[in-house]
A and B are shown apart, each in its own frame.
Chain A
Amino acid sequence: MKNKQWIKKVKGYFDHHSIFWLQLPFLSLFAVFIIIPVLIAIGLSFTDFNSIQKPNIVGLGNYVNILTDDAIFMEHAFPNTIQFSIIVGVGGYILSFFLAWSLAQITKIPRTIMAIILYLPSMTSGVMLSTVWQVIFAGDKIGYLNSILLKLDIIQKPVIWLSDDRYLLLIMIIVSLWSSMGVGFLAMLAGILNVNKELYEAAYIDGVRNRFQEILYVTIPAIRPFMMFGAVMAIVNTFQNGSIGVMLSGANPTPGYAGQLLVTHAEEYAFVRYEMGYGAAISVLILILVWVISQMAKRLFIDKDR
C-alpha cells in the first residue's frame, strides 16, 4: 500500500515537471557539445593557449595578427575560402534550385530516380569522397583522367592531380559541387512540388509570359521558406566541407597552401602547431562569417514580406 503511494508520488512529480524532464536530455547535450564549445572558442581566442602552458590573456592580439601578420591567411586561406564559397556555396545553391525546379517538371518515377542519384554524393562525406575521386584523379597513368588526357595527347606524362597546387582548388570545387545536392536540395524540391497550381494559373492570367518570369514571380516567392532552409544548408555545407582539400591531398597544410581554407587553416594551427588560442580565433571568425552570410540570406528571403 505504502509502495503504491510512493510510486504515485514519483509519477505525479514527473507528470508535473514533464516539460523539464522531456527537454533535459536534448538541451543538456546541446549545451555541452554546441553552446559551450562556441563560448570556449570565443574565450580561447583572446588567449595564447598552446595546450601545455597556462594560457595568458592577449586581448585582441590573435585577431590583429590574423588580419595583419598572417601571410598564409591573407595570401591563401582567405582568398581560397572566398573563391571556394562563392562557387560552391552560391553556385551550388543556384544549381540545386535549378535542378530541383527541373525535376519538378517531369513525371514522378523518373523524378524520384534522378533525385536519389543526385542526392547520393552528399552521403559520401569524408573518407569515401577521397576514395571515390582517387579513381579518377589518381596520379599514375592508370588514373581515369590521366589515361583519357594521355590518349588524347593533351598531356605527355601523367599529372599528379591531387598534389599539384595548380589544380587542387579546382578539384576541391568540382568535388564539393558534386556533393552539394543535399538536404537543402530535397527541401527545395519538396517545396516546388507543393506550390499551389492555382498560383501559376493566376499568374499566367496576370500576364506572366515565360518560364523565367514564372520562376521569378511565382515559384521563388511561393517557396521562400524552403529557399531559406536551402540557403542555410548550403552555407553550412560549404564550410563543413572545408577540410576536403586535406582529405584529397592527404596533407595539412595542403601542397603549396593551394587548398587551404579557413577551416583547415584553423585546424593546422590547432592540431599541427598547437597554437590553440590562435586557431580558436580563426574558428570564431568562421562562425561570424557563417552567421553574417545567413543573415544576408534571411534578408533576401524572409524580411521582404514584412
Chain B
Amino acid sequence: MQKRNKIKIIGINPRRFDRSQIKFYLYLLPIVFITALPIIFIFFNAFKPLDELLVYPPKFITLRPTLQNFRNLAATSANKSIPMSRYLFNSILSTMSVVLLTLTITVMAAYCMSKRKYRLKNMFFNINEAALMFVPVAVAIPRYLIIFKLGLVNSFLVHIVPLVALPVGLYLIKQFIDDFPDSVVEAAKIDGASDYYILRKVIIPNITPALATVAILSFQSSWNSLEASNYYINNEALKSFSFYMTTLTANSGNANGMVGQMTGNTVAGLGIQAAAALIMFIPNLILFIILQSRVMNTMSHSGMK
C-alpha cells in the first residue's frame, strides 16, 4: 500500500481530477487567459457598432452586437473595382490547391523515403531534415529571380507552386509511415501490387492523422501567405484575401493601401479590420479544433532521432 501512495505523486496524463492538480491550474489559467485576450478583443471589436468603438474609455465587451463592420467591409471594397469576394475566392481556390497538391506529392515522396530502398535515399531525407531549418524569408531575393525566370510573375500559379514543397510535411509523414509495419508492404509487394496501388490502398488509409496534420500546416502557410500578392502579382484581381487585409491597415506601409488611407485611421477602420481579421482567423480555428486529436497523434511520431 505504501508503494501505491508513492506512485500517486507521478502525475503525467492523469485520468481524473485530483487536488494536487490545483497548483497547475493556478498558473495555467492566467497564462491561457492572457494568451486568449487579444483574440477575444478582436472578436468583440468585430461586432461592435461604431459608437461603441469610439467611446472613451474603451469598453472591452460589445454591448449591442451588430454585423455593421462586416457590411462596411464589403462596402469598402465595393468602392474599388474589385469586390472583396474576389479576394476571398482567390484565397480559397489557391489554398485548396496548395493543400491538395502538397498532400499528394508529399505522401508519394515520403512513402519512397520510408519504405523503399534505393541509393541516395538517406541523402534525400537528410537534406530534407536540414531544410526544416530553412527560413524562406532569408532567400526572398533568389526566389524572386527564379519565379521571374519561370514566367510565374502575374500568374495565379505563383500563389500555389512555391508553397507546395513543404519540408516539415515530408518529415512528419515520413516519420509516421516509418512506424507502419514493413511486413504489410512486403506482403502486398509479393502479391504483385505496384507501388501506386500500395500507396493508395495500404499506406494512405493508415496515415490519415499525419495527412490531417500536414493539411493544417499547409493550409496555414497558404491562407496566411502574403509573398505572392506582395511581390509577384500586380494584377489586383489575382491577389489574395490576406493581402486585401493589409490594405485595410493604414500603417502597413503598403503602396497599395488606398483603402487603408480611407479607413485605417478612422474608428470605422478599426471595426472593419477586426471583421477582416476574424474572417482570416476562423477557418484556421475550426480546422484545428476538428483535427486536433489527429495532430497530437502525428506529433507523437515527430521526434528527431
Contacts and interface: CB of A to CB of B under 8 A. Distances in A.
Interface of A: 14-15, 18-19, 22-23, 25-27, 29-30, 32-41, 44, 99, 102-108, 110, 112, 114-121, 123-128, 130-136, 138, 141-144, 147, 150-151, 162-163, 178, 181, 183, 186-187, 189-195, 197, 200-201, 204, 214, 223-226, 228-229, 232-233, 235-236, 239-240, 242-243, 246-247, 249-252, 263, 266-267, 270-271, 276, 279-280, 283, 286-287, 290-291, 294, 301-302
A204 to B, nearest CB: 6
B273 A131 contact: yes
Given A133-B38, A279-B141, A26 B108 contact: yes
B105 interface: yes
A138 B165 CA distance: 38
Contact of B142 (A40, A136, A190): A40
Nearest to B251: A250
A102 B28 contact: yes
Contact of B105 (A19, A25, A197): A25
Given A105-B12, A290-B135, 14 more contacts: A18-B195, A26-B165, A27-B109, A40-B146, A124-B39, A134-B270, A183-B299, A225-B302, A226-B302, A236-B133, A236-B134, A236-B135, A240-B136, A302-B305
Given A33-B143, A189-B296, A225-B303, A114 B32 contact: yes
A271 B39 contact: no
Interface string B136-180: 111111110110001000000000011011011010000000000
A270 B141 contact: yes
Best-surrounded residue of B109, B118, B248 (most CB of chain A within 10 A): B109
B196 A18 contact: yes
Contacts of A226: 299, 302-304
Nearest to B298: A190
A165 to B, nearest CB: 15
Interface in B97-156: 104-106, 108-109, 111-113, 116, 118, 124, 127-128, 130-143, 145-146, 150
Contacts of B15: 107
B31 A286 contact: no
B295 A186 contact: yes
A33 B162 contact: yes
A301 B303 CA distance: 11
B25 interface: yes
B270 to A, nearest CB: 7
B303 A223 contact: yes
Interface stretch (B63-71, B78-86, B281-289): B281-289
A187 B298 CA distance: 8
Provide the main secondary structure of the chain A interface. Answer: helix
A134 B225 CA distance: 20
A242 B253 CA distance: 17
A228 B129 CA distance: 12
Nearest to A151: B57
A250 B251 CA distance: 5
A287 B135 contact: yes
